Structure 1
Amino acid sequence: MKAYIFPGQGAQFTGMGLDLYENSDLAKELFEKANDILGFSITDVMFTGTAEELKETKVTQPAIFLHSVILAKVLGDTFQPEMVAGHSLGELSALVANGVLSFEDGLRLVSKRALAMQKACEQTPSTMAAVLGLEDAVVEETCAAIEEGVVVAANYNCPGQLVISGDVEAVKKACEVLTEKGARRALLLPVGGAFHSPLMEPAREELAAAIEATTFNEPTCAVYQNVAAMAITDAATIKSNLIAQLTAPVKWTQCIQAMVADGGTEFIEVGPGKVLQGLMRKIDRSVTASGASL
């Protein structure tokens, strides 16, 4: 089965999407529509902006979403997913790709998500850290044993790579303990806050209202959602899982394993960068992983 996977925050690069804009009338139309919906020229930042400008939260998430979704639409009849998944933000791209959300509604939700997360980051000094070379259970137990502050497992990216998230001091303490327990690396990430942790609760509440007010259609194929790591085909369940996503861990390793178990053999990354292809090779080398191209 053919599985399409969609990247999340961090996949952006300067000049992203320009080739699509210049080579496809449909892409040009959708990018211009996005500028109108967002109320600013995101294409200017994507095509000619600096790396710093692209890192702005209100830009980064919509930019990655637009690159992914517009590429999928430009592929036309060759884009025939039998299963989809997206890493964090990428889940919204996946839901447009399998017909659950319209392009316009997906973009509005991504924009609201980005702004709500930014606001939550500003409320509490918080961060994330990548932990390499330890079993998941060791990382989970260590986080649970930190007594002061919040620190939790946030992104199960691939075996031996788990990102933790929480209060700055609690994350630093966890990194110290994990290093003592033999982590190959435990390093703070250059992010603005504790994504996929309880500290995102204000953002979850804000986004929940927007999600509840949005029409969710029945999907054309199963989506393997971050919080469930299993095939979901019911629109109501997809909606509730998407609301839960901001404060719950991204079970990416488990999603890919479930997709392979359910018959996924060809995995195609749709969007900027090759991050997910790299993770695929660490999760399961028995399947193929490539990037979508025109």
Structure 2
Amino acid sequence: MFAIVAPGQGAQTPGMLSGWLRDPAHAERLRHWSGAADLDLVHLGTRASAAAIARTENAQPLLVAHGLLAHEALARAVPEGAAVVAGHSVGELTAAVYAGVLTSTDAIRLAAVRGRAMGAACDAEPTSMAAVVGGSELDVLDRLAELDLTAATFNGTGQIVAAGPADGIQRLAAAPPRGATVKPLPVAGAFHTPFMEPARQAVAAAAAATRFDRPRQLLLSNADGAVLTSPEEIRQRLVDQVVRPVRWDLCLRALARMQPGLALSLPPARTLANILKRQYPGIAVVPVNVPRDLAKAAARLEADTGKGEPAHAGA
């Protein structure tokens, strides 16, 4: 059994698609996806500045596109029912493609709608986010409640991302919870909180017009780590996660129960690969960052195929 994980916003770096676009097939896919996103993904992935690709409306479709450039090569090497797939925040759209729920074009289109809508919601009032590292979870959550902040992301490995009004984030940084450090994040606003309700409505309208199929691989929800099988439930959860916390910690617990022998961390791979390695050193993690990593990842998948039973929801 294999795991495939897809990163969320914040993993992007300038020029991250340059190596991929040397392959004409990848370049053609990205031009097609640029039309679906109504964005120049080629420019964003090669020549755009760090500030430009950090913008929410650019970062989200760009990250989904990066993860999906690996899809064709890897999908051939993963038999149906042999993988469990999970995505962090917008990476859940990438994961839905690997699970067979969405087409790549539809995932890019939804990511573009999501990014633009969340960016617009951020402009409505001053909000922000900060990573809280260390301390006890109870102390951290109590401190966030005192400041009227939301725990927007539980990343595991002792990290919670707080979100809410910008002045609350400033007060959190000035007086962290006991035993914790606080690092304000360079994001446009309070993602995965009720401040994103206008964006949720926009994503809901776009998702309603999009075909969702029954998954061919196990798909974990980043709301609670549950395995999803119903296309309608997957659609609703992808919509609702815009305003709900990301429980990556629960996805990690689900993976630990399922005990995959190998985990592929999709590009940009570093953040999630490092989390997996720290939390579950027994899982072999293969990061996929550049095109040459595809052959290595596919070979590992093919070598391990048949060594274990197919994935199943009761694991």
For the criterion TM > 0.5, the same-fold answer is yes
The answer to whether the Cα contact below 8 Å between 1:3 and 1:264 also exists between their aligned partners in 2 is yes
Match of 2:133 in 1: 132
State how far apart, in whole Å, the 2-side matches of 1:66 and 1:74 are. 14
Identity %: 31
RMSD: 1.6
Question: 1:161 aligned to 2:123?
Answer: no
The answer to whether the Cα contact below 8 Å between 2:132 and 2:160 also exists between their aligned partners in 1 is yes
Residues 61-210 of structure 1 mapped to structure 2, 5 A cutoff: 61-80=60-79, 82-146=83-147, 150-179=148-177, 181-183=178-180, 185-210=181-206
SS in 2 for 1:92: helix
Could you report, residue by residue, the CA deviation over 1:155-203 in whole angstroms, capped at 9, with x for unpaired residues? 1112211111001112223344434x221x1121111100111111111
State how far apart, in whole Å, the 2-side matches of 1:95 and 1:27 are. 20
State how far apart, in whole Å, the 1-side matches of 2:269 and 2:261 are. 21
**How far did residue 228 of structure 1 move?**
2.2
Match of 2:8 in 1: 8
The answer to whether the Cα contact below 8 Å between 1:61 and 1:89 also exists between their aligned partners in 2 is yes
State how far apart, in whole Å, the 2-side matches of 1:268 and 1:74 are. 13
Which AA in structure 2 matches 1:216? F
SS in 2 for 1:178: coil
**How far did residue 30 of structure 1 move?**
1.0
Q: Which runs of 4+ in 1 moved over 4 A?
A: none
Runs of 5+ unmatched residues, structure 1:
none
Change (3 A) 1:79 1:19: farther
The answer to whether the Cα contact below 8 Å between 2:152 and 2:162 also exists between their aligned partners in 1 is yes
Match of 2:248 in 1: 252
Match of 1:33 in 2: 32
Change (3 A) 1:284 1:162: same
State how far apart, in whole Å, the 2-side matches of 1:98 and 1:218 are. 9
SS in 1 for 2:186: coil
The answer to whether the Cα contact below 8 Å between 1:72 and 1:79 also exists between their aligned partners in 2 is no
Aligned residues: 288
The answer to whether the Cα contact below 8 Å between 1:26 and 1:74 also exists between their aligned partners in 2 is no
SS in 1 for 2:176: helix
State how far apart, in whole Å, the 2-side matches of 1:106 and 1:160 are. 31
Change (3 A) 1:165 1:240: same
Change (3 A) 1:40 1:115: closer
Which AA in structure 2 matches 1:41? D
Which AA in structure 1 matches 2:228? I
SS in 1 for 2:116: helix
The answer to whether the Cα contact below 8 Å between 1:20 and 1:71 also exists between their aligned partners in 2 is no
Match of 1:225 in 2: 221
Which AA in structure 1 matches 2:134? G
